[in-house]
A and B are shown apart, each in its own frame.
Chain A
């Protein structure tokens, strides 16, 4: 059974189609990166899946429960909004205990859970301080803690690291990575580096429609560039330049570009070119330090997909 199942989800605000027939399935236990530019429909999707907004059409279930504002769904999920808001007059521990009470935990159980989570997110030292005085990073960590109080089956994180400084981002991403296997994480973001760092599976949304869902490595492989990069030891560029000129005349090669001790070779057929290039290198006598097929970054894949959609 999928942890999240969305079928043809539609959300309209007047004439604006925030979600336009979105369909998606997320495997249990995975960290799913929900990627898209600003205004693509990421937050709307999360608000619908957490029962805070109503769909205009379509169906969705989370952890086997139909979406809507109901206790059964709320008990199975955790939710961190993009800008988590708290009662500033409460301390971090009080807030977590209040959330524990909303999940029906008894006094001792909610205190224990709050303490565990305060340790986990690194807020133990400031557990008694009023939340009003918390920094952005501390609020984000408290936001993650409150989302974990009920040990959710599915955790929704809306742009969890977007507004943080590099150190805060690293901490939050490490926390998220630490949840792998404990629950399904559905994380929306527009920062591709964050997705590359922690997500197993990626879904790319644009203008309320799902462009592609795939495992991260499959996605980058599918959009692999027909480019190889060869790096040689720094003993003068002449032999490399001569070799580059020679192979540039071959029919299999489309373009060759020398850059210092390295050469980028764009080929017409990746699979055939790989063996041929290795053979050519062995014959050339060059001292090869590195030979690699250039992989596209997730950013390049994302931009390719969005551009394809725009030109469709």
Chain B
């Protein structure tokens, strides 16, 4: 366990020193902050554009639902992007550079090496969503109305899990391949593949993307829940990490 903490502390310091943590927090927080502002001011912005007065009048007055919609759309898109960009070189890059061989010739178990990376990404995304969530909650309340805080937290929790599914998959692909580009490509392929499969509404309710829908309906239809999607997403994350460990422990460095 001590070795896991040693590796996690190194991963977090790396995220900080290489500015990855800062960039992720800033970008996601910015979108968390801007989403309610954009929802509120979009009709006014359009109305202020020369010739856009009519368009501004056509848009119905923004509501809190628009603010939530903007927040979820922006956060889910950018969090996925970071969920692929951050882990894509985490294992493949270390294998390619030779740092993995050097530190794994020490008494650091391969499982701890991998899980420390997964935990670090989990913490980076949790911190980013915490800050963006607080900013988004405050401005949504200021411009529209203050929403139930527990549901706001649950909404961000679902977005976190959705992000972590792709972070876990990218970590797996980074473990399998020796190239960052291949790892990212495979993750995008899964994202695309699941979007195509998700065209079928029967299947869609079990896919990770349904977590995004669920996070939106928390405020509109709080009685609706997609436990199947939650179970599949958790299963995919655990399976991806388990597969990464099983493959990595047999890999030659």
Q: Which residues of B contact A84 (CB under 8 A)?
A: 98, 102
Q: Which single member of A52, A103, A104 contacts B252 (CB below 8 Å)?
A: A52
Docked-complex contact A79 and B108, CB < 8 angstroms = no
Flag whether B202 is at the interface (Cβ < 8 A).
no
Q: With A69-B104, A79-B102, A98-B10 given, is the CB distance from A89 to B109 under 8 Å?
A: no
Q: Which residues of A contact B2 (CB under 8 A)?
A: 104
Question: A85 within 8 Å of B by Cβ?
Answer: yes
- List the A residue with the shortest CB-CB distance to B253: A52
The 8 A CB mask of B5-18 against A (1 = contact, 0 = none) is 01000100010011
Contacts of A53 in B (CB 8 A): 252-253
Interface status of A47 (Cβ within 8 A of chain B) = yes
Interface residue stretch chosen among A70-78, A120-128, A207-215, A295-303: A70-78
Closest CB-CB distance, B96 to chain A, in whole Å? 9
Pairwise interchain contact B252-A71, C-beta atoms closer than 8 A: no
Query: A106 vs B110: C-alpha distance in the bound complex, in angstroms?
Result: 22
> Which residues of chain A come closer than 8 Å to B18, judged between CB atoms?
89
Give the 5 A-B residue pairs with the shortest CB-CB distance, closest first. A85-B98, A71-B107, A74-B107, A79-B105, A53-B252
Partner of A86, one of B3, B99, B109, B249: B99
Chain A residues within an 8 Å CB radius of B110 = 69
Interface residues in B87-119 by Cβ distance below 8 A to A read: 97-99, 101-110
- Which chain A residues lie closer than 8 Å to B106 at the CB level? 74, 99, 102-103, 150
Q: Does A276 sit within 8 A of B, measured CB to CB?
A: no
Q: Which residues from chain A contact B104 at a C-beta distance below 8 Å?
A: 52, 69
B107 touches A98 (CB 8 A): no
With a cutoff of 8 Å between Cβ atoms, the chain A residues found around residue B98 in the complex are 81, 83-85
Among B6, B102, B249, B250, which residue has its beta carbon within 8 angstroms of that of A81?
B102
How far apart sit A104 and B249, CA to CA, in the bound complex (Å)? 21
Residue of B nearest to A77 (CB): B105
Chain B residues contacting A85 (CB-CB under 8 Å) are 97-99, 101-102
Binding site for A on B (CB under 8 A): 2-3, 6, 10, 14, 17-18, 97-99, 101-110, 249-250, 252-253
- Which of B17, B105, B249 neighbours the largest number of chain A CB atoms within 10 Å of its CB? B105
Give chain A nearest CB distance to B8 CB in angstroms: 11
Chain B residue numbers with a CB within 8 Å of A87 are 10, 14, 99
Count of A-B contacts with CB under 8 A? 64
A189 CB-CB contact with B under 8 Å: no
Q: How many residues of A contact B (CB 8 A)?
A: 27
Known A81-B102, A87-B99: A54·B252 in contact at CB below 8 Å: yes
| Contact in complex: A102, B253 (CB < 8 Å) | no
A53-B252, A99-B103, A104-B2 given; 6 more Cβ-contact pairs under 8 Å: A51-B105, A53-B253, A79-B105, A84-B98, A85-B97, A98-B10
CB neighbours (8 Å) of A51 from chain B are: 105
A50 interface contact, C-beta 8 A: yes
Cα distance, A75 to B98, chains bound together (Å): 20
Interchain CB contact under 8 A, A102 and B3: yes
Q: Is the CB of B109 within 8 A of A50?
A: no
- Given A83-B98, A98-B6, A98-B10 in contact, is the A50-B17 Cβ separation under 8 Å? no
Q: List 28 A-B contacts (CB under 8 A).
A: A47-B252, A50-B105, A52-B101, A52-B252, A52-B253, A54-B252, A69-B104, A69-B110, A74-B106, A79-B102, A79-B105, A84-B98, A84-B102, A85-B97, A85-B98, A85-B99, A87-B10, A87-B14, A89-B17, A101-B6, A102-B3, A102-B103, A102-B107, A103-B106, A103-B107, A104-B107, A146-B102, A150-B106
A126-173 contacts to B, CB under 8 A, are 146, 150
Q: Which chain A positions have C-beta within 8 A of B14?
A: 87, 89
CA distance A146 to B252 in the complex (A): 21
Q: How far is the CB of B124 from chain A (nearest CB, A)?
A: 16
Contacts of A69 in B (CB 8 A): 104, 110, 249
Residue of A nearest to B3 (CB): A102
How far is A252 from B250 in the complex, measured between Cα atoms in Å?
63
Q: Which residue of B3, B14, B103, B106 has the most chain A CB atoms within 10 A of its CB atom?
A: B106
Q: A278 CB to closest chain B CB, in angstroms?
A: 55
* A86 near B252: Cβ-Cβ < 8 Å: no
Q: Give A52 to B251 CA distance when docked, in angstroms.
A: 8
**From residue A82, how far is it (CB to closest CB) to chain B in Å?**
9
Residue of A69, A77, A83, A99 with highest tally of chain B CB at under 10 A: A69
Measured CB to CB, the nearest residue on chain B to A80 is B102
Whether the Cβ atoms of B6 and A102 lie closer than 8 Å is yes
> Which listed residue, A50, A86, A102, A146, touches B108 by the CB 8 Å rule?
A102
Nearest residue (CB) in B for A48 is B252
- Chain A residue at minimal CB-CB distance from B109: A71
Q: Which residue of B lies closest to A54 (CB)?
A: B252
Question: For the complex, what is the distance from the CA of A133 to the CA of B99, rounded to whole Å?
Answer: 16
Residue of A nearest to B250 (CB): A54
Contact assessment for A86 and B102 in the assembled complex, using a CB-CB cutoff below 8 Å = yes
Q: Which residues of B contact A47 (CB under 8 A)?
A: 101, 252-253
Beta-carbon contact of B105 and A74 below 8 Å: yes
Interface positions, chain A 163-218, Cβ under 8 Å from B, are none
